[in-house]
Amino acid sequence: MGKPANTRRKQGGQFAPGVSGNPAGKPRGARHKTTLAIEALLEGEAEGLTRAAIDKALEGDTTALRLCLDRIAPPRKDNPVCFTLPTIESAADAVAASSALLAAVAAGEVTPDEAGRVMALLTAHKNLVETGDLETRIAALEDKK
């Protein structure tokens, strides 16, 4: 007798998508035994370990200092982009804002990468403005009927 159809392997040796070789496997949210052991060892020691790391950092231990500073002020993932952007209330305003953004890139005020991220925001905002405009126009047409 063979295995049930839902656990059979494909010809290449992999299981079908969404089907595990062990349907009764580890439940969602289950934690690894190593993680549990480490947490058990550290339980109640966080304050003392933190104080020791701070003391070592104050004594000049650069590794401890880096550890402490990374917790106090983690590195930023990105920086604010500062340039003048016109108000956007219509699709035409979005075109003007896009032109202002391209001019800022050309002037070296904004990097192309920053401009790409801002352009994604402009595009999303333009879509919201257009959707709101369409909603208003549809409501006006329905009121006429």
Sequential pLDDT tens for the chain (145 residues): 455 555 555 566 676 666 766 777 777 778 888 988 888 888 888 888 888 989 999 999 999 888 888 888 777 777 788 888 888 888 888 889 999 999 999 999 899 999 999 999 999 988 998 898 899 999 999 998 8
- Rounded Cα distance between 19 and 40, Å, is 34
Residue 6 lies in a domain: no
Residue 61 lies in a domain: yes
Query: How open is the CA angle 15-19-24, to the nearest 5 degrees?
Result: 115
Quick one: 140 and 98 in the same domain?
yes
CB 59 within 8 A of CB 66: no
Residue 3 lies in a domain: no
Quick one: 110 and 69 in the same domain?
no
Number of helical H runs and strand E runs in the chain? 5, 0
Residue 120 lies in a domain: yes
Quick one: 64 and 95 in the same domain?
no
Quick one: 104 and 61 in the same domain?
no
Assigned token pair, 135? 């909603």
pTM value surpassing 0.75: no
Quick one: 61 and 102 in the same domain?
no
Assigned token pair, 113? 């990468």
3-class DSSP state of 108: coil
pLDDT per residue as tens digits for the range 42-77: 888 888 888 898 999 999 999 988 888 888 877 777
The residue range of the domain holding 58 is: 32-75
Residue 54 lies in a domain: yes
Residue 81 lies in a domain: no
Quick one: 52 and 95 in the same domain?
no
Query: How open is the CA angle 28-34-35, to the nearest 5 degrees?
Result: 60
Residue 24 lies in a domain: no
State how many domains the chain has.
2
